[in-house]
């Protein structure tokens, strides 16, 4: 492969195992992407597919990642603005258009997690960097937005800055080496002259980008690491921000759907003529084997007509899935004849047999829904070709999804429209948590739009459809076994999990690119398969199950339940070994100084070694702790509870200490952790989706309870960056909450809770 400024420069791999500083040159001179980016602001000058500058000095940064509340519309601009030496007060953001130039580099950065440093890892990373813009996959998930774009975004900023310096050198007739930058100005110290970026933008936009643009050293940072204001805060406060549900277009019609309540059921009949005759209804029709749609003059009329429509559904053939019965059977499936053994260390069997003491525990977790505040919705406009040929038609989608790339692929597949005739506009989202990585609502909107050609259709689900047609975190059960020697040292660890895999189900449903077969899915045994603990010889296995319930990516995915299992079990092993939970973890982390630092920090900040104040009402109090590495960040959390004399549980306090390695914006990190804590508490305390006769029982906030404001604990969050490539953050705060909470309850009551939600336990009442 010939390397040029349209490719990365690889140097010194053989000698150092490192990667050259020139990242992501691929998109720098992509004229098509630059034209698309400029289209929304023709008066601005585009230096790069990510950077455009107005004559008044306003800098607009393109953000390809989906903004679903996690602050990426601030973090991406901060990384670029840092190297650009921008005045932060002049920086704005814009959601990027659909173009391959905006492909995420997250897959390349995953080599940091899953490969040992060296030549092989560097070569793999280089190859994936090359492939990323060729594929052009824009996707937001796995807490990868900052982690996957940090290097690239910094290079974007440095390259744009170099172009501005070159333009200034020509205007001032001085060497580039005599120029410096600060606060959106290029400065010539010798003459005292300076030029603002707005004055240089037009000339800079005509230049070719440098192959290697020098980047700042960490001590030169003035934006990264600072608690800068969020660029989207004002629009979210005043209501001007455009969420998917806010899209308004001329000549728009409105739609909703009714889907088979039983998964994999089909439509038998519906009163189409009566529905069409209803005032305000434009049309009603079936769009898939299990779904009917109503199109009306406004959303309210569409929802009323769909609610009142007499629809009969044929249930799926075979036994109807019952979640209670299925999960009750899971513990009997821990010893299958042919388990999927994902890891077995040499000598594991002998080590387990030789153990003096054995500890065993079984844990269970239920199906969970996402329950985004903004229900699923999407707007689509299908424009048939004048010649009637589908390949000449056009489809435009306004997509509140986690991937405008996946949106475009699905829209093209449904309509038969070629990729070049597909346009996708990103919108803000009122929550996602993995739910909007699925494309079912996009496919529905596109299918409806094809039935109403020439008019934009905004399709919105009811809250009941949103709860009962989710893609759920699978119900799961797991068994841990540990062997200890006579001194209480752990010598063997055995783990098996039973449940449905997410990856296979998601990719089959969405025709995604990562079709890991259930038996090969290492995600089933995360985080143990890539553990930060010095565990002894291990066997990690799964017994994948199948059922009709669609499984999806719930915030922190398998870590959300496996983190509970692991940390809860470590407490039980520590007790069997005669050690306290902190000392036991310290031993397992003895070779991990950064992890130890965070564990020690949460011990100090929480006052772990200080007795809890007595409850004036005579209740019992307790603390629990958990420490995890999640999404390449390190976190430790302490939860404090009070159990009233009548058994009522109150979560008093949650202390979180997190090492994101590099904190791009500590305020946003703290917000993400604290939001995750509330999500995790809701799930641990109340979260449960029941499936009876193949259909979800719950339907709204009334029977799928979340933590209320009055129940929210006091939170203290400490962001303690230890240096290095930034980790993920959007899901990091979830996995440790449930085990720290159940440990706190155990400390107060002496009773273990191994099955969630806590609301159904007999230990406490909530």
pLDDT in tens, 455-493: 999 999 999 999 999 999 999 999 999 999 999 999 999
pLDDT at 30: 60
Whether residues 227 and 355 share a domain: the answer is: no
CA-CA distances (angstroms) from residue 353 to 356, 566, 615, 721, 736? 9, 22, 46, 42, 31
170: cis peptide before it, omega within 30°? Answer: no
Model pLDDT for residues 7-30, shown as the tens digit of each residue: 333 333 322 333 333 334 444 446
pTM of the predicted structure, to 2 decimals: 0.94
CA pair distance 233, 124, nearest whole angstrom: 39
Domain boundary pick from 408, 425, 460: 460
How would you list the strands of the sheet with 714-719, edge to edge?
620-630, 633-643, 649-659, 714-719
% of the chain surpassing 70 pLDDT: 96
User: Apex CA 678: angle with CA 676 and CA 679, to 5°?
Assistant: 60
Domain of residue 448: give its range.
244-316+376-460
CA-CA distances (angstroms) from residue 161 to 8, 31, 51, 324, 687? 19, 19, 10, 60, 49
Do residues 619 and 644 make contact, with C-beta atoms less than 8 angstroms apart?
yes
Domain assignment of residue 359, yes or no: yes
Q: How many domains does the chain have?
A: 3
CA pair distance 632, 106, nearest whole angstrom: 12
E-strand ranges in 698-766 read: 714-719
Low-confidence ranges of the chain (pLDDT < 70): 1-30, 211, 513
Whether residues 45 and 72 share a domain: the answer is: yes
**Crossing angle for the helix pair 404-415 and 440-451, nearest 10 degrees?**
40
Q: Radius of gyration of the chain from Cα atoms?
A: 27
Residue 80, number of CB atoms within 10 A of its CB:
31
Burial zone of 2 (CB within 10 Å; 0-12 exposed, 13-18 middle, 19+ buried): exposed
Do residues 397 and 432 make contact, with C-beta atoms less than 8 angstroms apart?
no
Whether residues 381 and 529 share a domain: the answer is: no
Whether residues 343 and 385 share a domain: the answer is: no
CA pair distance 670, 175, nearest whole angstrom: 44
Q: In 37-75, which positions are buried (b, 16+ CB within 10 angstroms) versus exposed (e)?
A: bbeeeeebbbbbbbbbbbeebbbbbbbbbbbbbbbbbbb
Domain assignment of residue 7, yes or no: no
Domain assignment of residue 6, yes or no: no
Domain assignment of residue 559, yes or no: yes
Whether residues 267 and 345 share a domain: the answer is: no
Domain assignment of residue 328, yes or no: yes
Whether residues 477 and 340 share a domain: the answer is: yes
* Count of residues in the chain: 766
- Residue 424: in which H helix or E strand, if any? strand 422-426
Domain assignment of residue 766, yes or no: no
Do residues 225 and 720 make contact, with C-beta atoms less than 8 angstroms apart?
no
Whether residues 233 and 257 share a domain: the answer is: no
Do residues 25 and 133 make contact, with C-beta atoms less than 8 angstroms apart?
no
- Residue 396: in which H helix or E strand, if any? strand 394-399
Domain boundary pick from 184, 207, 238: 238
CA-CA distances (angstroms) from residue 363 to 615, 706, 739? 30, 22, 11
108: cis peptide before it, omega within 30°? Answer: no
Encoded tokens for 252:
């728009």
Whether residues 678 and 736 share a domain: the answer is: yes
* Residue (of 601, 708, 729) closest to 656 by Cα position: 601
Whether residues 200 and 273 share a domain: the answer is: no
Do residues 723 and 634 make contact, with C-beta atoms less than 8 angstroms apart?
no
Whether residues 51 and 168 share a domain: the answer is: yes
pLDDT at 117: 80
Whether residues 18 and 82 share a domain: the answer is: yes
Residue 488 β-bridge partners: none
Domain boundary pick from 223, 238, 253: 238
* Residue (of 405, 420, 526, 533) closest to 476 by Cα position: 526
Domain assignment of residue 2, yes or no: no
Encoded tokens for 652:
């008093």
Domain assignment of residue 160, yes or no: yes
* Residue (of 106, 682, 689, 622) closest to 402 by Cα position: 106
Whether residues 284 and 304 share a domain: the answer is: yes
CATH of the domain at 304: 3.30.365.10
Give the CA-trace dihedral at 224, 225, 226, 231, to 10 degrees. Answer: 50
């Amino acid at each position: 492969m010939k390397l040029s400024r349209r490719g990365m420069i690889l140097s010194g791999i053989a000698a150092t195992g490192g990667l050259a500083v020139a990242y992501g040159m691929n998109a720098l001179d992509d004229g098509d992407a630059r034209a698309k980016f400029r289209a929304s602001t023709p008066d601005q000058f585009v230096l790069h597919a990510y950077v455009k500058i107005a004559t008044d000095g306003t800098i607009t940064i393109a953000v390809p990642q989906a903004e679903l509340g996690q602050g990426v519309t601030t973090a991406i601009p901060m990384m670029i603005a840092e190297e650009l030496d921008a005045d932060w007060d002049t920086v704005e953001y814009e959601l990027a258009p659909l173009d391959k130039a905006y492909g995420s580099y997250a897959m390349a950065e995953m080599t940091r997690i899953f490969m040992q440093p060296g030549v092989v890892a560097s070569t793999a990373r280089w190859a994936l960097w090359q492939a990323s813009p060729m594929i052009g996959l824009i996707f937001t998930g796995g807490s990868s937005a900052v982690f996957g774009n940090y290097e690239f975004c910094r290079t974007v900023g440095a390259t744009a800055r170099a172009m501005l310096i070159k333009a200034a050198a020509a205007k001032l007739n001085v060497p580039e080496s005599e120029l410096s930058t600060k606060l959106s100005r290029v400065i010539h110290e010798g003459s005292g002259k300076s030029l603002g970026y707005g004055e240089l933008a037009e000339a800079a936009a005509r230049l070719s980008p440098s192959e290697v643009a020098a980047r700042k050293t960490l001590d030169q940072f003035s934006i990264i690491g600072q608690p800068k204001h969020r660029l989207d805060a004002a629009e979210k406060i005043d209501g001007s921000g455009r969420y998917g549900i806010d899209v308004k277009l001329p000549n728009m019609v409105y739609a909703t759907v009714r889907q088979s309540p039983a998964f994999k059921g089909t439509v038998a009949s519906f009163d189409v003529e009566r529905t069409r005759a209803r005032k305000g209804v434009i049309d009603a029709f079936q769009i898939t084997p299990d779904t009917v749609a109503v199109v009306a003059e406004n959303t309210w009329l569409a929802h009323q007509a769909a609610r009142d429509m007499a629809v009969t559904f044929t249930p799926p053939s075979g036994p109807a899935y019952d979640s209670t019965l299925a999960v009750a059977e899971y513990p009997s499936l821990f010893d299958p004849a042919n388990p999927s053994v994902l890891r077995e260390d040499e000598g594991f069997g002998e080590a387990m047999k030789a153990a003096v003491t054995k500890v065993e525990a079984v844990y269970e977790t239920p199906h969970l829904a996402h329950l985004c505040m903004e229900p699923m919705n999407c707007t689509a406009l299908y424009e048939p070709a004048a010649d009637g040929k589908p390949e000449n038609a056009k489809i435009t989608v306004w997509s509140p999804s986690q991937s405008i790339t996946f949106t475009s692929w699905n829209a093209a597949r449904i309509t038969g429209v070629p990729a070049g005739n597909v346009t996708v506009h990103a919108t803000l989202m009122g929550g996602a948590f993995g739910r909007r990585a699925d494309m079912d609502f996009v496919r529905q909107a596109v299918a409806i739009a094809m039935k109403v050609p020439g008019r934009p259709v905004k399709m919105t689900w009811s809250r009941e459809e949103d709860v009962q047609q989710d893609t759920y975190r699978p119900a799961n059960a797991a068994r841990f076994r540990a062997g200890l020697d006579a001194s209480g040292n752990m010598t063997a660890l055995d783990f098996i999990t039973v449940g449905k895999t997410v990856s296979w189900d998601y990719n089959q449903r969405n025709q995604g690119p990562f079709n890991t077969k259930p038996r090969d899915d290492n995600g089933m045994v995360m985080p143990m398969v890539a553990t930060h603990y010095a565990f002894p010889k291990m066997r990690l296995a799964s017994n994948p199950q199948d059922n009709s319930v669609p499984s999806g990516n719930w915030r922190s995915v398998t870590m959300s339940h496996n983190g509970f299992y692991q940390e809860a079990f470590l407490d039980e092993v520590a007790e069997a070994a005669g050690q306290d939970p902190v000392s036991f973890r310290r031993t397992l982390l003895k070779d991990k100084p950064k992890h130890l630092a965070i564990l020690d920090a949460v011990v100090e900040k929480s006052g772990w070694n200080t007795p809890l104040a007595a409850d004036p009402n005579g209740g019992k109090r307790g603390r629990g702790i958990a420490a995890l590495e999640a999404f390449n960040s390190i976190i430790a959390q302490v939860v404090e509870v009070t159990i009233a004399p009548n058994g009522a549980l109150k979560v008093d306090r949650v202390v979180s200490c997190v090492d994101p390695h590099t904190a791009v914006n500590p305020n946003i990190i703290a917000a993400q952790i604290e939001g995750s804590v509330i999500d995790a508490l809701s799930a641990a305390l109340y979260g449960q989706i029941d499936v009876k006769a193949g259909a979800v029982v719950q339907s709204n906030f009334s029977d799928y309870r979340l933590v209320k404001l009055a129940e929210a604990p006091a939170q203290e969050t400490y962001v303690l960056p230890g240096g290095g490539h930034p980790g993920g953050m959007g899901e990091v705060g979830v996995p440790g909450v449930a085990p720290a909470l159940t440990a706190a309850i155990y400390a107060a009551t002496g009773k273990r809770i191994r099955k969630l939600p806590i609301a159904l336990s007999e230990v406490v009442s909530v």
